[in-house]
Each structure stands twice: as C-alpha cells, then as structure tokens.
A and B are shown apart, each in its own frame.
Chain A
Amino acid sequence: MFGNLSDRLAETFKSLRGKGRLSPADIDATLREIRKALLEADVALEVVKSFIQAIRDRALGDEVSGALNPAQQVVQIVNQELIQILGAEPRKLRYGKTAPTVIMLAGLQGSGKTTLAGKLAKWLVSEGESVLLVAADLQRPNAVEQLRVLGEKISVEVFAPEAGSGTGDPVKVAKDSIAHAKSRGLSMVIVDTAGRLGVDQEMMAQAAKIRDAIKPDETLFVIDSMLGQDAVNVAKAFEDGVGITAVVLSKLDGDSKGGAALSVASVTGKPIIFSSTGESLDAFEPFYPDRMASRILDMGDVLTLIEQAQKAFDEDSAQEMALKLAKETFTLEDFLDQMQQLRKMGSLKSMLAMMPGAGQMRQQLDNIDEKEIDRTEAIIRSMTPVERQNPKVLNGSRRTRIARGSGMSVTDVNSLVNRFEQAAKMMKTVAKGGTPQIPGMPAGVGGVVPRKKAKDKKKAGSKSGNPAKRAAELNAKELGIKPASGGAGSAFGIGN
C-alpha cells in the first residue's frame, strides 16, 4: 500500500539533496513520512506523537555529522530513540532470591500464553533449571489439557489439579503449586493464567489475587505482535491491574511490523525480554531491541549503510585529508588510505544495494567489477614510498618494475597514474571552492573521478561550509560510491 519506509525516505531525501543543515521544514517532511510509517506499523497514536516531538527537538539541536547527510541523520536519531524506548540492552530474566523462582504469565485471550509457557519451560530446562508448569487457566476449554500435552512433549512436570474448562479456583491452584514446587525441590515455577480483557474487572481482580498468592519474581505480559492501537489501553490495564514486570512479544514470525512493542514499552516503561518466533517449541529467543527498531520502521538497510559509513569515515582523517588537499599534497598513499577506508565499509556492491531506491541501479551494479579495486591496490602497493609520495618520479623503468610487481601491464600503471593526477587536480579545484571541469565526460555520467556528480544518493545534501572539508566529504563519498551508469564500472580510474 505504501511501500516500505526506506523507499519513502529515499523520496524525501531527493528533495533534500544539495542542502546544508536541515531546516525545520526538511525535518518535518522527513518526520511526516516517519509518522506514517509508525502508524502503519501499529504504533499507538499517542506514542507516535510524543516520539515525533522528541525526534524533532533532537534533530533541530543536534550536531551535524560529516559522514551523513542531514536526512540520514534524522533517521539515525529516530533509530537511536526507538532503541532507547525498546531498551538498549536485552534484559535478562529476573531470578528469585530463594527457589523457586516464580513466573506468572498474563495477557489477552489468544495472545499465546500457553504456548509461551511451554517454550519458556523448555528454554529454562536447557539453561539447567528444573521447571514446574502450572495450569491456572481454568477458563478456556481444555487449556489445562493443552499445557499437559506441552509438558509431556518437553518432559516437564505440569501441576494441574483442576480439569478447568470453566471449573476450579485458579488462585488456589496457583498457590498450591508453589508449595508443590518447594516439596519437589524445583527451581522454577511458570504459572499459565487465563486470557482476560483489560476491561473485565472481575477477571483482572482474579489475576491480582493470583499474583498476591504466588508473589511472582516476574509477571510477564504476553502480547501478540499483531496488536494494533489498543495495545496502549491493554498495557495500561494490565499494568494497573496486575503490575507487570516485563513484556514478551509473541507471533513475531508473522509479517506484522510489531509496533505494539513500542507502544507497550513506551506506555509501561517495562522491558521486552523475550520474543516468540514460530510454531516449534524452540522458537523462542531473547528480545533484541535493535532488530525490533529496524523491523518497525523497515529501515534496516538505511541504518546499516549509515553505520558502515560512519565507522569507515573517520572525522579526523577527513580533516587531515582536507588539509592535504588544500596544500596540494594529495598522494597515491592517501589514495590507498582512502581505498582501505572504503574496504572497511564492506563490499561495494552490497553497500550500493543497501541504498534506498537502489533497485533501479541493480543492473548497473552488476557491471561493477570489484576486482578493479584490488588491481588498483596491487599497483599502488608495488610502488616504493617515494613513488607513492611523489608520482612525478615514475619514469619508464619504475613503471615497468611496478607493472611486474603487481602483475599488471605498464598500460594499467600509466592509466592509474593519469587518473590519479586528474583526480588530484580536480580535488584541488574543489578544495579551493571551484567547479571541476571534467575532461571528456558526458554530463551527469561519472567517468573518471567525479562520481560525485550524479547517481550518488548517499551524498545528498551534505556539504560542509568549509571548502576544504567539503572537498574531503565529497572525496570520501565518491570513493564510497561507484557511478551507477557509465558502462563497465571502472574503479578508481583504472582500466577503462
């Protein structure tokens, strides 16, 4: 219906290209898309509102980072805030001071409590615990039987003195189970309770009674990851009625975005600690806030790119490079340095493929030969330090030696040197604030060095006011991104 956020943001980014610091209007445009995406992902409206406000405040006040364009910065802030709400680090299950540790499960009907009880028990057993499952859902027909079958499958004892299906007192069952676990010397008790609605006061009171009877170390609130806007009401009701200590997200193997996780975490302030991810009893894992953040906003690709760009692009070295450019001392060694930085970003192709809107470029991507980078590197590595510092000393015999050393031809070496010189010259021009003239290149198509010209979505907008710094930024980006068009991709000016 709406396409994913990555694509939508790509649209927004387009209009931001070539601008400097984000204006409030630019931020609003980006945030509008993010608001839509959050609503589509079922994040509750009140949570969306306060969230967007927080992002706007930060985006307006934040430092501008050299490695990212402004729109990417907004995305990064969004991601950081998402992770902060979802919990930066996965929290571990809280164990009681004395055995047995008591875990109570609570939630709406059909949220997946009983299945989760089985999964949790299996996981705890694998952690070396001895577990008792307690069938205190005496409401739903055959919930007791379901738990008994699950217990049998995983060889865990099930405490089920009542047949259920509408008969028996769940408070008594829960209470008795603790004594039973103690007498059996078991270390964990998991109490499955009936599904109940937040508005059902009688049932909520019963849940509170169960809680008081067993004094759980953890009261886990199980929510269906497909839950919509009602998540806030439900979470508040359970928080007020039973007092939850942590949240478990079920059915995460579906294709819902799971915005309810954000709603619940935000409204209750309680951490999400587990997620349930499939039909098998092993489909159970700790909750990973960062994964969830990406899932909700469907911007994992953009984020990976941002992360990699930041890691690789060291601010200090950028400054240094800018100085060098200004002083006209850009050498082959620097060229190599930059290439190595680029390597840190990972495969060029996969980098490009991660860019929003890269689908259209896929075909061109296939034309890029990453080997070219290897060859360029080989040639430079075959040079002496003196040669790298000053390519002017490269006479015929030196070139022959380099060619032999790198397993390339002299023509390749010549080609590299030529392109390097052009690049250095052009960067100098840029460094001085001029517009580079690119010889022999059709407009808008990156031929030699000036890949910065077009097709480079990533660079959108980030131009420093400082000419030297700007040149450095451009330079770094240019190295990161190959021209999308322009035939067989030649890397770093070799072997066209």
Chain B
Amino acid sequence: MSSIFFWRKKREEEKQASGSKVSDQTTANAELTAATLPIRSSKKGIRSLFAISKFDPDDLQTLEEILLQADFGLSASEKIVAAVKTEAKLQGASTESDLRKILAQVIESQLSSDKRELNLSSGKLPYVFLVVGVNGAGKTTTIGKLANWLGEGSWSVVLGAADTFRAAAVNQLATWAERAGAKLVGPKSDGQDPASVAFEAVETAISEDSDIVIIDTAGRLQNKSDLMDELSKIRRVIEKRAEISEVLLVIDATTGQNGLSQAKAFAEVAQVTGIVLTKLDGTAKGGIAFAIQSELGIPIKLVGVGEGINDFAFFDAKEFASGLVA
C-alpha cells in the first residue's frame, strides 16, 4: 500500500476538463474526484522493545516487564503475555525468535481495526476534523503536518485556530498554515470564544467550497470539567453547520497510564474517533496507545515521528507490531 484513496471536490479546471477521470469511480456526486495521497511509513518511529532489555524465553514474566516498560500498563501487559503463552503452547514454540513472532501476531491482532483509515470518503464535504488533547501533546504540529499532506493531494484546506487560550497558539498554527498552503481562520479578537472561531472556520470552508476544515483546540487536562464542557460546546456548534467526520485525540507517546484517563474523558465529551500518537521518534514506545485501543476500542490512526512537516504516518498495526519485536 503506497497510496491512500479519498474523495475530494473537483477544482473548477477539472470540472471543465470533462468527467472522464471520474467515470471509472462509482460516485453519485459528479462534483467529486478521486484523490490519492502517498502513504507514509511509521517505521522510522518504532523502536524495538528489546533494544535494551532481553526477555528470557523460559520465563515470560520477563516479557511482561518489558511490556510494562513500554507503557502498555499492567492489565494490557498481563493480557498480552497470557495470549503469547497460550499461543506458544498451541504451536509448541519455545525459542526466542518464535516467541517474538507470536508476540508480534498477538499485538497486531489486538490492534486490528476496520476503522483505521481517516474518514475522508463519505463524500459529504467539507470534511470536518476536530483535534483535541491535553496540553503539549502536539495538536498544532499534527494539524500542520496533516494539512500539508492533504495539500499535496490538491485538497483545499481550512485551519480553524480555536485555541484562543495559549499565548501565540494562533500564530503557531498560522505558521503551519503558511507552510502547508492552507487558509487560516483565527479569532477576530483576543480571547474570542473558541466555539465561535470553530463555527466561522466551518462557515468559511463551506462558502469557499473547501474540501476539509481542521479545527485546532486548546490543550486541556481531562479533569478540568469547565474546559471539557467548552469542548462539547465546540462540537455542538460545529454540528449546526456540518457533520464532524473525525475527532482526533492527540496522545504524546511518552504518556504513561494517564493516557487511559485522557482517552476515556475525551471520548465521552468529544466522541473521539481516532488516536494520533505523537513523538514516537523519541525513546518512548507508546504502549499506552495499545492499552487505549484494547480497552476503549478507539483505533490509532496517525503517528507523529518528528518535528518536520513530513514527519507523520498512518498507523499500521503490522508495521507497529513487527517494529516492536524487531
């Protein structure tokens, strides 16, 4: 899989250049055209679980410890080790390399999800992405990268700067918008209600016939109920004008078990549809994302692997699993 296929709106010039390109695609909407975008590999960011510590094939307790050190958490680690044990018994596997293979299979199968891809195929444009998360998780950077990638596929992208709280967050997003060639809709005055900024961004996207609008929100800790209420308000207000196709929760790969609490709270308030696992280029393994998916069923969709505009990738369970055991 080297590219991903989506629908986007036809540009004016494409409309004039006859619909032949579209005819082979089954779509009811002649306004749409197929867009393909290069998929990016997340291999760069995945480090082996066994880079520092090895496990003893005769004592799978050691494997559990390695998983714990990768932030999988007690519950998920125990579950994985139990599954590996069962499978090893079935297959009569006992060597380290066999066990590693089994481990990879277990992780991959538990991460499998049919909701992995970004929801860019409904044809109901503009697609609205809402990006949420705690402070410092990497929301703005993620949006910059995503906008740039979409721009590569000739999408017209609007970014809504609804983080009106953090000093200069709007400027930070503006810089990314410029780099990615996206249009920025920001607050007209300092401290403008974030929900109204989000609304205006969606309005702009509709009136300008854009394909997608990505709303940046202020970082908020999940136990701050007033800020979480604000988030549900943003959601409600957007939905007055358009369907929300993705709510992406950005989780820092270095996050520990609090990630579960984050995912639970954000899922409840904002109806999260996918996880973006950022900062995987560090030493952190991001096991918490596994715990989140296995406990809450929210799929990991994207990963961030650096500060560069191209440093992001689509999450691939197989790639992730085999990278972890490499």
Contacts and interface: CB of A to CB of B under 8 A. Distances in A.
A197 B281 CA distance: 8
A426 interface: no
7 contacts: A44-B69, A111-B136, A145-B168, A226-B259, A226-B262, A254-B223, A255-B221
Given A199-B282, A226-B134, A39 B171 contact: no
Contacts of B140: 141
Interface string B112-143: 00000000000000000000001111101000
A265 to B, nearest CB: 16
B282 to A, nearest CB: 4
A256 B288 CA distance: 14
Nearest to A223: B254
Interface of B: 65, 68-71, 73-75, 134-138, 140, 144, 165-169, 171-172, 174-176, 221-224, 252-262, 279, 281-285, 287-288, 307
Contact of A40 (B73, B171, B285, B307): B73
A443 to B, nearest CB: 40
A233 interface: yes
Given A197-B282, A224-B252, A227-B256, 10 more contacts: A40-B257, A108-B254, A141-B140, A142-B174, A146-B167, A224-B255, A230-B254, A230-B285, A251-B136, A257-B257
Given A228-B255, A256-B258, A251 B171 contact: no
A2 B260 CA distance: 13
A153 B258 contact: no
Nearest to A141: B175
A39 B138 contact: no
B68 A229 contact: yes
A200 to B, nearest CB: 8
A140 interface: yes
A226 B283 contact: no
A436 B137 CA distance: 63
Contacts of A259: 256
A197 B255 contact: no
A363 interface: no
A153 B167 contact: yes
A87 B221 CA distance: 27
A224 B251 CA distance: 13
A433 B45 CA distance: 69
Interface string A19-40: 0000000000000000010011
B140 to A, nearest CB: 8
A150 interface: yes
Given A45-B65, A197-B281, A230-B71, A251 B221 contact: yes
B296 to A, nearest CB: 12
B255 A227 contact: yes
A431 B259 CA distance: 55
A253 B221 contact: yes
Contacts, number: 152
Contacts of A36: 74
Nearest to A49: B65
A246 B136 CA distance: 21
Interface size class of A (residues with CB under 8 A): 35 or more
A224 B222 contact: no
B223 A234 contact: no
Which of B135, B224, B259: most chain A Cβ within 10 A? B135
A153 B165 CA distance: 13
A230 B281 CA distance: 12
A255 B223 contact: yes
Contacts of B169: 142, 146
Contacts of A111: 136
A228 B288 contact: yes
A117 to B, nearest CB: 11
Contacts of A39: 68, 73-74
B168 A142 contact: yes
A139 interface: yes
B167 to A, nearest CB: 4
A234 B223 CA distance: 26
A228 B254 CA distance: 6
A149 interface: yes
Interface string A163-203: 00100000000000000000000000000000001110000
A109 interface: yes
Contacts of B68: 39, 45, 229
A41 B257 contact: yes
A145 B171 CA distance: 8
Nearest to A110: B136
Contact of B172 (A141, A147, A230): A141
A140 B172 contact: yes
Contact of B135 (A41, A112, A140, A149): A112
Nearest to A203: B307
A148 B171 CA distance: 12
